[in-house]
A = this chain, B = another copy of it.
Amino acid sequence: MSEPKDHMTLIVFSNDLDRAMAAFILATGAASSGMEVTIFFTFWGISLLRKKNFVGGKKKLVERLFGWMLPEGPEDATLSKMNFFGAGTSMMKNLMRKKKMPQLADYLSMARSLDVRLVACTTSMGIMGIRQEELLDNIEYGGVATYLGKARESGVNLFI
């Protein structure tokens, strides 16, 4: 077994662009320095894993409502502050593009190619009425036990 300090877990609770960026910058930085990284997506964070424009499946009205209101994937994410109905978010995205920085969707791909494990919290999916077919392919599913198993052998555990 490798040393605890070589593992990192992140709980991504939020779907805010800024918090998600922070999580992925940490995750890809750690993975490229050789750490084993697992990200658990819970609650609002689940929506970062949603496929764009997914249609289909039978849902109850209340689940459908949540579905409409939640962002679909990383490109829909907005800032937690100074969003100003999208203007602040666009401004920051432009600033990042000019500086040739990767966008959130790029970080997501980067994380996958660096073998960062992406786990969707099944409890949260139940609460939100989100189903597996709505989420990206090739991610993992788990609950609190999965998280705790990993966090107990990790040296760095953050809730973002």
A residues touching B (Cβ–Cβ < 8 Å)? Answer: 4-6, 8, 11, 13, 18-19, 21-22, 25-26, 29-30, 33, 35, 42-44, 62-63, 65-66, 69, 81-82, 91-92, 94-96, 99, 101, 123, 126-129, 143-145, 147-148, 151-153, 155-160
In the bound complex, residues from chain B placing their C-beta under 8 Å from that of A11 are: 22, 158
Least distance between A8 CB and chain B CB atoms (Å):
8
Contact status B81-A44, CB under 8 Å: yes
The distance in angstroms between the C-alpha atoms of A152 and B18, with both chains bound, is 24
Docked pose: A126 CA to B95 CA in angstroms: 9
Shortest distance from the beta carbon of A50 to any chain B beta carbon, whole Å: 15
The answer to whether B156 touches A148 (Cβ under 8 A) is yes
Given contacts A126-B99, A129-B95, A156-B157, contact A147 B44 (CB under 8 A): no
Point out the residues of chain B lying under 8 angstroms from A6, CB to CB. Answer: 152
- A6, A35, A44, A156: most-surrounded residue (chain B CB, <10 A): A156
Q: Would A43 and B18 be within 8 Å (CB), given that A5-B153, A148-B30 are in contact? A: yes
